[in-house]
Amino acid sequence: MNKYFLLIIITFSLVGQTDPNIDKTNHIKSIVLGSGCFWGAEKGYEQIQGIENAVSGYADGRGVSPTYRSITQLKNKYNNNNFAEVVEVTFNSNEINLRSIIQHFFESHDPTQSNRQGNDIGTQYRSTILYKNDEDKAVIENTLNEYQDLLKKSGFGKITTKVKKLEKFYEAESYHQDYIKKNPNGYCPDHSTGVVFDNDVPEVIDNSSLLVGKHILIIDSKTYCPYCEKFDNDVLQSYKGSIPFSKRTSDQLKSLQISVPTWATPTIIFLLDGKEIFAKQGYMEPANFYKALGKFKLGESEAYDVAFNEGTDSRFCKEYQIFKNTPDGVFVDKLSGQPLFDTRDRFVSRSGWLSFTKPVDDATYELPDNRYGMKRVEVRSLSSDIHLGHVFDDGPNGMPRYCINATVLEFVPRSKVAQL
């Protein structure tokens, strides 16, 4: 075969092959976006399918050093030449288009605020879009104009977002990168207006069920919030208490009387007849959540004193009289709803307190209690960390006697145990 003819065959063969990595590389693009503090924005972009990377940094400034220390100095707070906190978003245009990213940008903050987002005030928090390719400008401006019309219909003012060509992006200090991942006990800022593009109309939520009785309301993120996920994993997944919980985003609170700012996710709100009684912005450790829930559910009661001040029920108290002869079932933590003791392990000790030979497996933990000049072993709930009572070695047939306060328990019949 002629060597030149063979070369042509090989060349056509190579051209016909498809290398997915080459195709992907040819479609990698980037845009620089500023929507207030870059910590939450960075995390939000990283959760979107098709986003390859999101890097916090500074851009669109002059005469100021592009460092966090410099841009946050008081003298630069209202300096129009100050650098903006921005995120460089790198994306694969085969998986997501620029319009979708710009839609997320507008929906995730309030672009009508000038040089601020929520409580963050200063020129470094300005809303800005800095494009690298001239062909991107038309997409950006068309999306901006469309969102302006939607904002106007909802009663909002003029968009202040500056659209400019990027001069230079400066990567922020290493401790700012993946900041939320490195700081697990906080909140994600949500300064969004609640106005969304027509292709993403929010679900209409009926809050009538929250207007009667006690409820726990969690303000969740519209996108992804690692602190919300952590609260879910640490608290909500195991919570089985009698006060129901619901989730809403900040634009789904109609008819509710809420005074706490709703831009932080999660925000945990305790409602009575639709009115906020207590609220906490940001992630809550389980122990802190249950202490707040205890105050909300128990008030200034004997049960609260037992649960959180290591108090003791009155001997033969009314709850003891009710619980000493219940039908078959389990006693659960009054706050978390987790099973603690089984009626099959209950016995009559004539002490005036509920007595059991053992707790439910992995439901409690014990620790020394040397208060009041006595050497005892305290029993606490593993789920809510409330005080339950003490364990002694004088039970029947050489078994332990778990002496438990009835006021911190609730009873569930055996027929309903499977629902826990």
Spatial contact of 330 and 342, defined as CB atoms under 8 Å apart? yes
- Report the DSSP beta bridge partners of residue 341: 331
Spatial contact of 362 and 382, defined as CB atoms under 8 Å apart? yes
| Catalytic annotation, pick one of 37, 188, 228, 403 | 37
Angle, helices 98-107/38-46, rounded to nearest 10 degrees: 140
* Residue 37 bears catalytic tag: yes
Taking each continuous run of H as one helix and of E as one strand, the counts in the chain are 11, 23
C-alpha span between 222 and 111 (Å, rounded): 17
Burial of 124 (0-12, 13-18, 19+ CB in 10 A): buried
Residue type present at position 268: I
Strands 376-381 and 245-248: unpaired
Spatial contact of 73 and 117, defined as CB atoms under 8 Å apart? no
C-alpha span between 217 and 269 (Å, rounded): 5
Q: State which H helix or E strand residue 85 sits in.
A: strand 84-92
Strands 28-35 and 84-92: antiparallel
First CA to last CA distance, the chain: 78
Catalytic residues: 37
